[in-house]
Chain A
Amino acid sequence: MADRDRTPGGVLKLLAFATFWGWLVVRWVNDWTGGILLPVGEPLLPVDTITAIGATFAGTPIGGFFETLAFIAPFLPRLAGGVWLTVILTVGGIALGFVIAVPLAATRVYGHYTRYVALAYIELIRGTPLLAQLFVLYYGTTLSIVIRELPGIGQGIVPPQAVWVALIGFTINSAAYQAEYIRGAIQSVDPGQLRAARAIGLDQLSGIRYVVMPQALRYAIPGWSNELIYLIKYSSLAAFITVPELFNRANSIASSNFRYTTLFVTAGLIYLCIVLTASNIMSRVEDAVAIPGLSVSEGR
């Protein structure tokens, strides 16, 4: 349930999330404001401190851990900047995709001829690689030129055009996947309920809006969470259209010092933290909106 978890494990989890996101937020705010706390790009924990602590464990595995930490610390600010783009692309892509996915799913289920249009869109997008879609959008259309000319793009904290192209790409892609999850959920709502809605004089659209969708969207949450988690990791594909998100930065740092394993393990751990946060939030949402007496997760 959504109640506060006060077990030691729950407190530890909360502490871990707070540390992770606290680090990121402090980093972002500091760097956007030109360094109100410490110079832009300087690690929160000084490398010397880490090395000093590590020295007391010299020769043990713990010492090795601090050595690695001391090595990676100077790069963390750059990685944190990449996380910001990863978060923007994921949250933006899933949210905008959702706005398209709901009518798309409804059309797919209830449309007459339009259902084939929805089906074609969904199959085309799901049937081709996301990377290919991003390449087509970025290199094959004038989209990035159009966006570049818009006022404010790439200035201050407004990201440059490649980020916007990636966001559009993720939106288009995620809409198709989300639509399929929502379609399945719509079809799991007993059609008798829509019939009953029609029988009291609601038109089809109102019946879908007030009766079918509120239930379908609840049933879609587990599948939809899956899509969110996929998208967090698929956002790394934006690296290939020059977006300096987490993966891109890890890769470019590693290419200058050849510590690929260290960098990618670090990036992987950061992705893991983001994913765990997302799945925790989604399971809380699922509990919060569960229909009394009907909840799938209750009594599990």
Chain B
Amino acid sequence: MADPLLRLDDVEQSYGDERVLDGISFEMDRQDVQVLIGPSGSGKSTILRCINRLVEIDDGDIELDGDSIFTMDENDLRRQVGMVFQDFNLFAHLTAIENVTLGLKHVLDMDDEAATEKAERQLEQVGLLDQRDSYPAELSGGQKQRVGIARALAMDPKLMLFDEPTSALDPELIGEVLEVMRDLADQGMTMLVVTHEMGFAREAATDIMFLDDGRIVEHGPPEQLFEAPEQERTAEFLERLTALHGGIHG
């Protein structure tokens, strides 16, 4: 098992004339928690969407568990890669538990009973079993995002992608979501996280990548990026970020 779980090899992606990703290469081992930071428009979210093929790349290759994702069935790939969205995207007409069982029933073909049992375990893991029959509109932002995490986890993914999971939350609700994510990291889930929560990055990340203009400017363990960044740009960005978000939720 020397293979990395995820490998991006010189990935390029453009929207029209605008180059969004300009040669992105990195690897993630199992149980890694990699945090992607960078100014808005730097391509962080696009990287995540390329990995589960919600966005198609123009050039390069992406491998999951040794296989190029472009040789896999699209839906097969997505089953193995969980995604958590900035604005939750819960299914508005379904209760919390139905949000989780939908994929179990219609993607994994589980029967009602097995799906419900599994979904209950998943909701319990994010601390929301008592809200199993609430509809999204009846939940707080933090609860919604935890349901979103449970929904993705229920598919037993090999890799979890988090796309700014706390950016749409009121400050007092961020903590409960980060706590779930920390637990997940402790349990050994491989996670690729776009976030500006520096407390989380410092504490939970194995690696941090700083992205600017579609390129990885600097990539290293948190101590290196926080204490002794090699690049001037990294230092500037982190300084601004720390001033805004630093330490609050750490």
Contacts and interface: CB of A to CB of B under 8 A. Distances in A.
A293 interface: yes
B192 to A, nearest CB: 14
A6 B174 CA distance: 47
A196 B91 CA distance: 8
Contact of B135 (A198, A200, A293): A293
A291 B92 CA distance: 8
Given A198-B54, A199-B78, A211 B85 contact: no
A199 B89 CA distance: 11
Contact of B107 (A195, A196, A202): A202
A202 B137 contact: no
Interface string A100-132: 000000000000000000000000000000000
Nearest to B139: A293
Contacts of A9: none
B25 to A, nearest CB: 24
A200 B103 contact: yes
B79 interface: yes
Contact of B91 (A201, A203, A211): A211
Contacts of A193: 89-92
A291 B85 contact: no
Contact of B85 (A196, A201, A292, A293): A196
Contacts of A294: 92-93, 135, 137
A193 B75 CA distance: 16
Contacts of A206: 106
Contacts of B82: 199-200
B76 A201 contact: yes
A197 interface: yes
Contact of A190 (B54, B83, B89, B138): B89
Given A291-B135, A292-B137, 4 more contacts: A192-B89, A196-B89, A200-B102, A211-B91
20 contacts: A192-B87, A193-B89, A195-B85, A196-B85, A196-B89, A196-B148, A196-B151, A198-B78, A200-B82, A200-B107, A200-B152, A201-B75, A201-B76, A202-B103, A215-B93, A291-B135, A291-B137, A292-B135, A293-B135, A294-B135
